[in-house]
Amino acid sequence: MDASRGHIVGPTDEFELEARRRGYRRIAGLDEAGRGPLAGPVVAAAVVLPSRCRLAGVNDSKQVSESERARLYEVIVERARGIGVGVATEQEIDRLNILEATRLAMRRALAALNPPADCLLIDAVTLSNLAIPSRSIIKGDTLSLSIAAASIVAKVTRDRMMAAYHRTYPLYNFLAHKGYGTEEHLQRLAQHGPCAIHRRTFAPVAQLLSGLGECPGTTP
């Protein structure tokens, strides 16, 4: 959209319009936040936007500042025809692996939509055995408006969850890094050891636990 910012075109509703031409009316964009962190859940969001919806500034959540994400979140909540959010916990991530836990969160987000979607656009991930048609789009959060909206809803929701965890576990400063493996987080992890929301199967946490003589293994 803005050539000076390095991308000529942001997300559009072309994928949604194509689905509408095929007769679908409740097209949900689906995306997640939190696959990479060492702590906390993975959160997915499904967003159904009205036809010809214009959401200036909406883009892949990683391309948008925290304050702008918070503003856009409110706009999306106001404009969307439906929003569903799904969460997979750190225990489920350790038990299933991060990809399967992401799929679980996505299915929960889809199930939370009311009314339900009749067509689905997903960022990169594929979901099997769905009752509705779906399309997986590589870099979908930079191409599809509803996926970009879902990425912002998922990111803001997860960041707010991590801010709440910060109050419970202030030693780790989750408010600053949201559980990602920053230098500060790794230092605090080494200093204090893992807390209840750390992902036991993620390498830095697993290595620390094995050094402490505690088995980090997954649930059988």
β partners of residue 180? none
pLDDT at residue 1, rounded to an integer: 36
**Residue 76 to residue 78: CA distance in whole angstroms:** 5
Q: Could you give the 3-state DSSP secondary structure of residue 212?
A: coil
Q: Are 189 and 203 in contact (CB under 8 A)?
A: no
Q: Is the pLDDT of residue 217 over 50?
A: no
pLDDT at residue 7, rounded to an integer: 44
Amino acid at 91: Q
Express each pLDDT in 178-192 by its tens digit: 999 999 999 999 999
Worst-scoring range by mean pLDDT, 49-58, 75-84, 116-125?
49-58
pLDDT at residue 218, rounded to an integer: 36
Q: Where are the alpha helices (DSSP H) in the chain?
A: 14-21, 66-79, 90-96, 98-111, 140-143, 145-168, 174-177, 183-192, 203-211
pLDDT at residue 213, rounded to an integer: 55
pLDDT band of residue 198 (cuts 50, 70, 90) is very high
Express each pLDDT in 54-110 by its tens digit: 899 999 888 999 999 999 999 999 999 999 999 999 999 999 999 999 999 999 999
Q: Could you give the 3-state DSSP secondary structure of residue 16?
A: helix
Which class is 3-167 in CATH?
A: alpha beta
Express each pLDDT in 138-176 by its tens digit: 999 999 999 999 999 999 999 999 999 999 999 999 999
Q: Where are the domains of the chain?
A: 3-167, 170-211
pLDDT at residue 82, rounded to an integer: 98
pLDDT band of residue 211 (cuts 50, 70, 90) is confident
Express each pLDDT in 1-30 by its tens digit: 343 344 447 899 999 999 999 999 999 999
Q: How far is CA 190 from CA 49, 172, 201, in A?
A: 44, 10, 16
**Percent of the chain whose pLDDT exceeds 90:** 87
